[in-house]
Structure 1
């Protein structure tokens, strides 16, 4: 397992928060948290030929996170993040940046061919260049690869076709309750309750698991014929940036280590609650959690 990669694939960017900028992007966050449990994790994206790219590399290396991020002639990605009184973020995601133009290089292909698990979302598919690279990457992974589509709907950067294609290609779907409502409207089943929507999607796309997070109202993991539910711990929230990615990264790490769905779910909930008590998306959790 050590020779295989756990990959976060897609956007690499800086969250520009009220108290300064922090390295973020769901794929890097996912890879970082999976890596904290000892997995050989790697972030795959693209960077510009600018000062921010150098800072990105410095931060990734400082965090001990491996990366394959070819340089392209576009600016390194940034997101303006505003936090409300409860620490809930809203995002202004800059367009036509490096991660919109991820090339499918020989190095990226070599990572794909040795991937144990990969997580990607809809945001990095807003531009055709990165979208095609993501599809090529998925097509080059081993047959037993864990493919996690963390849907991550942002602004208007998604289409029904993009969502549909990724749901066909994944074996685990991660979605939150607000996104589930949007998907219900988009796919034409708004009348169903939350659980029935999940069962319908699980069956329709032949998924191994569907992970549904509902904020303070808990989370669910649906598998064929079974459902796991966990309450959300009550914590003092610093900000929620990256909490969902830490959930996915720790859940993936636990499943790969042979934990049951319920055990993996419990760990994921505890890790994401802890991340909410810290500033930024990549706090150190190694002293607090282990598999």
Structure 2
């Protein structure tokens, strides 16, 4: 196994559902799936000094996932998930929790200096402490590091400045169709169609790749001068939790392994469709899916 890390950086939290709680957060999901392809993956965040922190560590160890999560004097993150009469969820992402206060420790810095790919989002940047840690981490990575900004807009926990800064620091942007509409309004190009918006962002921010997911309407990967499209497979959905993170983790692992973009894209679609057929964000992938 190679020493260089593939890092999921940002929020570590528990989704508190009516039927109980589940460990969540995109960084751990991403790292878990990248690790299923033999990469040296690790989740970087922060935990509190509480019982939930112990449970987080236990779950990560059961999953065989490496982690660097310093303890801080804030509660471990939770999200209250409420379902209405139709079963539609609403989320209350608790504020001023451990992952809002990720410290840039010597251990975190050492991981950054030895990273070959990192994925982060906008949610973990809602508080200045974690936002600055994320910037320091990105600035400490090697020049050839694959830097994936999986935009992941949640509630109102984002600003134009935060998105702008991360788009300047990434070389791969992952976005969904709803987020693309919001970004189009925010940055003042609402009139363009989906593809032209993507080409514009790719060029403006000098990106290596832009990945656009459109739910049941398929997904696209834009690279300078080329576009890949894959339809979304029709599957029996158990839940969609973590499907996007499994897509990103698989795509990242495939590109790092030297796969052409089209093949990496096809594999990412196949894996995320499989994850939709399973309960929870971190199912073990059968060999035929990989």
TM-score by length of 2: 0.97
Superimposed CA distance per residue, residues 174-233 of structure 1 (whole angstroms, 9 cap, x where no aligned partner)? 000000000000000000000000000000000000000000000000000100000000
Alpha carbons 1:119, 1:148 under 8 Å: kept: yes
What is aligned with 1:205?
205
Deviation at 1:89, TM superposition (A): 5.1
In 2, Cα distance between equivalents of 1:203 and 1:89: 37
What is aligned with 1:174?
174
In 1, Cα distance between equivalents of 2:46 and 2:138: 17
3-state SS, counterpart of residue 203 of structure 1: helix
Consecutive unaligned residues of structure 2, counting only runs of 5 or more, are none
Runs of 4+ that moved beyond 6 A: 84-88
In 1, Cα distance between equivalents of 2:201 and 2:140: 25
Deviation at 1:85, TM superposition (A): 9.4
Superimposed CA distance per residue, residues 54-76 of structure 1 (whole angstroms, 9 cap, x where no aligned partner)? 00000000000000000000000
Counterparts of 1:226-237 in structure 2, within 5 Å, are: 226-237=226-237
In 2, Cα distance between equivalents of 1:87 and 1:34: 31
Greater relative contact order, per chain length (Cα 8 Å cut-off, separation 6+)? 1
Deviation at 1:82, TM superposition (A): 4.3
TM-score by length of 1: 0.97
Q: Structure 1 pair 101/93, CA: closer, same or farther in 2 (3 Å)?
A: same
Deviation at 1:287, TM superposition (A): 3.7
CA-atom RMSD in angstroms: 1.5
3-state SS, counterpart of residue 142 of structure 2: coil
3-state SS, counterpart of residue 108 of structure 2: helix
Query: Which shifted more, 14-23 or 225-234?
Result: 14-23
Deviation at 1:81, TM superposition (A): 2.7
What is aligned with 1:127?
127
What is aligned with 1:188?
188
2:3 is aligned with 1:21: no
Consecutive unaligned residues of structure 1, counting only runs of 5 or more, are none
Deviation at 1:92, TM superposition (A): 1.7
3-state SS, counterpart of residue 134 of structure 1: helix
